[in-house]
Structure 1
């Protein structure tokens, strides 16, 4: 095996240890063969799940950009009832199929979850010449795609609130969530402000009432993260681990960056959970990353924590948050809650 091929394969292995690769990066194209949007598919489970799942294939004509999404919808919704909605943004190289453990769980607890796919930074990045993988990843991290991601979420929200679900969603209980690159997207939607040509770009989405930030990278190239994040005023929950490391060449960051993002965020009500050990991709659907024993424990704790946060900000119920850190103290490195 020649030097460049060997180096390329080594790089792919290193990236797969830290990125949102998962099963969605396999050369399987089932997304393109799935049932049409009108058909609701019941998710596979040993028992009948308490949610329904639908894949949506929207196109934002104003940007000539496809916006695929997967909707997890609570199965038991009383007639006339309106349900809360979480809008989820995936990490680089992800898809609408990812983070299903969160979408399925939230919807089984009565909270709809819409997982938006960002076509400029989705799983298609993993296909093609391995020697150009790094450049594809770096292109996907550019500002134009960051702005398009915000546009994807805003467009998806418009579709949900003006389509067949309009009468069933509580517009006062909408939350944004995201992992990795998706956490950056979520921060921008939550009110983070970057300055370009002397003008602040205000990308805040006013329909979003709270945000869940998982493994947020820093805003690369921005010297003052506080100047960007202090404008955020809605409640935020930040989740990371001590070994939460991103290793894209030119975009390295570790758990200290996640903590700095938390500290700089201007939310009066915010919380930080740092798990001991782990990895960056542990928060995806991948099994075993971050440790075969720790991975399922962290996923269970993350489901429990995010639901407790949602109950707190949406319903004013703080009992789940108060006892959470004690329940998971064996796998926690740090827990901090402010203003709640």
Structure 2
């Protein structure tokens, strides 16, 4: 029987939200239109924007426990369905597959280019988003996408080049259960099936960021065990924080959806921890309010039963 722990954290009083889907952006070079879901608070102005990239195979309807919480806490959350989604069912020999990691980044660029179009597609949102306060967020494969937008260098498995694909419209990143460095630590499975993980460089990331890692997230991609997912924190420079979720596996207690079948470590307290700390970080880094973030840093010390928050 699991012991119930409260996080000891509070957040802002939740506000009502609206969610609109699909908003469709034309994307001829992509081979199919880009479908978005936007979830936004019904009230408030100068709202920060979170670009959220889903994990491999997911879609714009995923991650409701996070998306709903962030929107209720004052953020506009934009989710795309990327080309690797099971909903799109790309054929195994589809020529876009080797560049699927890059298509995700281009999806985010397109959203940033068309933020006014996106805003106009949501009733009552026009003029309320703040395009100067954009944070890239993502889970698993989506964490790499978010990282690339702030300077993570991925060596292209086809060209061998490690280009700078960052976007200065993105001020910070939030990476959840995300891949670490490649090289000899990759398993043969990861090397063969996820070639975009073979070589990743974190040292050019200077934007602030929060990394969330589960200490039981033992992925079949690296020989290093759960510590692998802390690389985006330990190997990048600058203003970074790391939330280590105790007992957390890859879905961190169930962030990918309500009653999500793929969650192996279902735990409402764990989800509440991730919800509260990530929202506190989003509100802190975009300058809305620092109180909850300071409280989290003071509360999540080494002996907290749910998690530990470190910063550098």
**Is contact 2:296-2:309 (8 Å) kept?**
no
Partner of residue 232, structure 1? 205
Question: How far has the Cα of 1:320 moved from its partner?
Answer: 1.5
- 1:204 is aligned to 166
Aligned residue in 1 for 2:116 = 161
Residue 309 in structure 1 maps to residue 261 in structure 2: no
In the TM superposition, what whole-angstrom CA distance separates every residue of 1:256-294 from its partner, at most 9, and x where no partner exists? Answer: 11112211112x1110011111321233125483444xx
Structure-2 change in CA distance of 1:325 and 1:290 (3 Å): farther
Return the index of the structure with the highest Cα Rg.
Answer: 1
2:10 alignment counterpart = none
Secondary structure at the residue paired with 1:312? helix
- Cα distance in 2 for residues equivalent to 1:66 and 1:160: 16
Match of 2:180 among 206, 214, 218: 218
- Tell me by how many angstroms 1:116 deviates: 1.3
1:273 to 219, 240, 243: 243
Partner residue, 2:290: 318
2:154·2:199 contact (CA, 8 Å) conserved in 1? no
- Residue from 149, 157, 160 that aligns with 2:104: 149
Contact kept? 1:277, 1:290, Cα under 8 Å: no
Q: CA RMSD in A?
A: 3.2
Q: Return the match for 2:20 from 46, 50, 54.
A: 54
Tell me the SS of whatever aligns to 1:271.
strand
1:242 aligns with 2:215: yes
Partner of 2:61: 97
**CA distance in 1: counterparts of 2:281 and 2:49, whole angstroms:** 14
Counterpart of 2:33? 66
CA–CA distance in 1 between the matches of 2:35 and 2:208?
28
* Shift in CA distance, 143/209, structure 1 to aligned 2, threshold 3 Å: farther
TM-score calculated relative to the size of structure 1: 0.71
Q: Which residue of 1 aligns with 2:272?
A: 300
Query: Which of 239, 259, 262 is the equivalent residue of 2:230?
Result: 259
Please identify which structure carries the higher helix content.
1
Structure 1 unaligned spans of 5+: 1-47, 129-134
TM-fit CA distance, 1:221: 4.7
- Matching of residue 172 in structure 1 with residue 132 in structure 2: yes
**Whole-angstrom distance in 2 between the partners of 1:116 and 1:140:** 21
Name 2:194's counterpart in structure 1: none
The residue that corresponds to 1:285 in the other structure is 257
Determine if contact 1:99/1:285 at 8 Å carries over to the other structure. Answer: yes
Q: In 1, Cα distance between the equivalents of 2:180 and 2:95?
A: 16
The answer on whether the counterparts of 2:37 and 2:60 sit within 8 Å (CA) in structure 1 is yes
- For 1:192, the equivalent position in structure 2 comes to 152
Whether the 8 Å contact between 1:210 and 1:235 is mirrored in structure 2 is: yes
Contact residue 192 and residue 204 of structure 1 kept, 8 A: yes
Residues 251 and 222 (structure 1), Cα distance of their counterparts in 2 relative to 1, 3 Å cut: closer
CA deviations 1:287-329 (Å, max 9, x no partner) are 483444xx21111111111111112111164322222155451
Per the alignment, residue 121 of structure 1 pairs with 84
Task: Note the 1:15-26 alignment, pairs <5 A.
Answer: none
